[in-house]
Structure 1
Amino acid sequence: MTAVRGEVVILASRYTGDAEPGLRIGQACRRALHSAYSVGLTLAVDAALAQRVSLCAAGPLARKGEELQISLGEGPCVQALSQRAQVLVADLDDPEATRHWPVFAQQAKAHYIRAAYALPILHGADAAGQAGLALTLYRHRPGPISEADLQVAQDHADAADLLLLTTPVPSQDELVHAWLLPAEAVVHQAIGMISYRHSLSTGQALALLRAHAHTQSTPLPSLARAVVHDHFTLLDPPASENGEG
């Protein structure tokens, strides 16, 4: 990140040493905005953007918005990070604006999210292929975001980045547990069962569960309950178990 504004440095200094800097920055951002938004902060910890952690869900819309983006693997923050550009969608009913994340748009609207604005922060002189951070604003009514609120959001995103630059990248197991904080306990159980059944790491089990939920347009907790309680399997058994081969 280059040419950091003085206001950003001052803002970041208020939360230096905080146990949950991402959460505090997101909450501060929500208070500072001129209009009513919910605020989410997502960290992509690998260059392929395959592993993401929601660091903050401040406000009534953010928890579901962040959960959908993590579980579906699509949404405004994913697009913003992959394209390395702001994604400002004033109306989720606009199919052209949401063509990169149609499933997210459909499910987000069912939870009263009508507009979303994602601001990515990427590291390095050439940020292509690098992990990154994205701050997403969610709103219950359509309409463009004001320049004043866009600047507030950008300052808080930059401040979060300054703080998180000194935070160690989580291990795979830490990543799974961090991602599961807003989720139901049954998701954790399902990941453990998938990992055991198919000799996968917890990260691979999470990726498999999320991919299946995405392709079937099924909420992640619902799929997890099917795995845990209905013995639903995500992978076909080996041919030998079917008497083939």
Structure 2
Amino acid sequence: MTSTRATAVELAALHLDRPDPASSLARACRTALGLPCSVGLTLAADAALAQRVSLAAVGPLAGRGEALQINLGEGPCVQALSRLTPVLAPDLDDTDVTGAWPVYAERARAHGIRAVFALPAVDPRFTVPQPGLVLCLYRDRPGALPEADLRTARTHAHAAELLLLAVPAPGEDSAADAWLLPTDAVVHQATGMISHRHAVTTGQALALLRSHAHALGTDLTGLAHAVVHRGLRLPDPPPPDPAGP
């Protein structure tokens, strides 16, 4: 553990001054792996990915793999943050593994993703979900990841955590904004507008936006843009059942 932490410190120091430290680190992780994988790195303020920043997507599968989890609010990254433990899915056809996120598994397979490994960089002392970083590896074929590659990915995830801690507060440095400000703020704007229009909580508003995007087969960010900038109004949510649960 000590040697792993020391390696993470060295990696963080190596990439700290790069123009895009997150992408630089993700590229280094991809290069260091024995098996070919795409690498995604996400900073989430909550386990449901309602508030998150996609820090890096390196390789042909990572961008879509990350976007699907954000659009659907489910997937190995969500489960890893909720359980505070790695989620290893070596075969997305295995329903015993993907039972908690079947829609994500189906969509991911349609985009050529056959295996996903989500490694959260969270403090093991926490016993409830915490904001944190998750590094995801995506493969175009099923199969377990060698232990050496898992160690490599964990080390890079912890290096990303150290990099984030080393970045100045927002507003003090332009590099900080690249790390900490969401690139899809329009989703949060749309959530606020839907919450106001339909008199629902922001969590319910996000669920409504996601379900509508799923029904239309469109991207969450594109739909949010239509809500904010083109005046699109979503259908009213169904009224609650007066009989209760």
Common fold: TM-score over 0.5? yes
Instruction: Give the AA of the match of 2:182.
Output: A
How far does residue 123 in structure 1 lie from its aligned partner after superposition? 3.3
Instruction: Tell me the secondary structure at the aligned position of residue 96 of structure 2.
Output: coil
Instruction: Give the AA of the match of 1:113.
Output: I
Instruction: Give the AA of the match of 1:233.
Output: L
> Which among 181, 184, 187 is matched to residue 180 of structure 1?
184
Instruction: Tell me the secondary structure at the aligned position of residue 50 of structure 2.
Output: coil
Distance 1:101 1:51 in 2: 19
What corresponds to 2:240 in structure 1? none
* Aligned residues of 1:29 and 1:152 also touching (Cα < 8 A): yes
Distance 2:231 2:85 in 1: 42
Instruction: Tell me the secondary structure at the aligned position of residue 150 of structure 2.
Output: helix
**Which segments of 5 or more consecutive residues in structure 1 lack a partner in the other structure?**
182-187, 237-245
What corresponds to 2:55 in structure 1? 55
Instruction: Tell me the secondary structure at the aligned position of residue 134 of structure 2.
Output: strand
What corresponds to 2:218 in structure 1? 219
How far does residue 196 in structure 1 lie from its aligned partner after superposition? 5.0
How far does residue 7 in structure 1 lie from its aligned partner after superposition? 1.3
Instruction: Tell me the secondary structure at the aligned position of residue 56 of structure 1.
Output: strand
* Aligned residues of 1:73 and 1:214 also touching (Cα < 8 A): no
Cα gap change, 1:179/1:108 in structure 2, threshold over 3 Å: closer, same or farther?
farther
Distance 2:66 2:153 in 1: 16
Percent of matched pairs sharing the same residue: 44
Distance 2:148 2:224 in 1: 41
* Aligned residues of 2:47 and 2:131 also touching (Cα < 8 A): yes
Deviations 1:157-200 (A, max 9, x none): 010011112346879xx99962429xxxxxx4x87567557647
Instruction: Tell me the secondary structure at the aligned position of residue 126 of structure 1.
Output: coil
What corresponds to 1:150 in structure 2? 150
Instruction: Give the AA of the match of 1:133.
Output: L
What corresponds to 1:207 in structure 2? 206
Instruction: Give the AA of the match of 1:207.
Output: L
Distance 1:191 1:104 in 2: 22
How far does residue 92 in structure 1 lie from its aligned partner after superposition? 0.3
Cα gap change, 1:30/1:196 in structure 2, threshold over 3 Å: closer, same or farther?
same
What corresponds to 2:35 in structure 1? 35
How far does residue 25 in structure 1 lie from its aligned partner after superposition? 1.1
What corresponds to 1:235 in structure 2? 236
**Which segments of 5 or more consecutive residues in structure 2 lack a partner in the other structure?**
172-177, 238-245
What corresponds to 2:175 in structure 1? none
What corresponds to 2:241 in structure 1? none
How far does residue 54 in structure 1 lie from its aligned partner after superposition? 1.2
Distance 2:193 2:231 in 1: 16
What corresponds to 1:240 in structure 2? none
Cα gap change, 1:94/1:175 in structure 2, threshold over 3 Å: closer, same or farther?
same
Deviations 1:85-137 (A, max 9, x none): 11111110011100111110000000000000011111373252321111000
Instruction: Give the AA of the match of 2:50.
Output: A
* Deviating more after overlay: 115-124 vs 83-92: 115-124
Instruction: Tell me the secondary structure at the aligned position of residue 88 of structure 1.
Output: strand
TM-score (norm 1): 0.76
The alignment's C-alpha RMSD in Å is: 3.6
* Aligned residues of 1:71 and 1:210 also touching (Cα < 8 A): no
* Aligned residues of 1:15 and 1:21 also touching (Cα < 8 A): yes
Instruction: Tell me the secondary structure at the aligned position of residue 92 of structure 1.
Output: coil
What corresponds to 1:86 in structure 2? 86
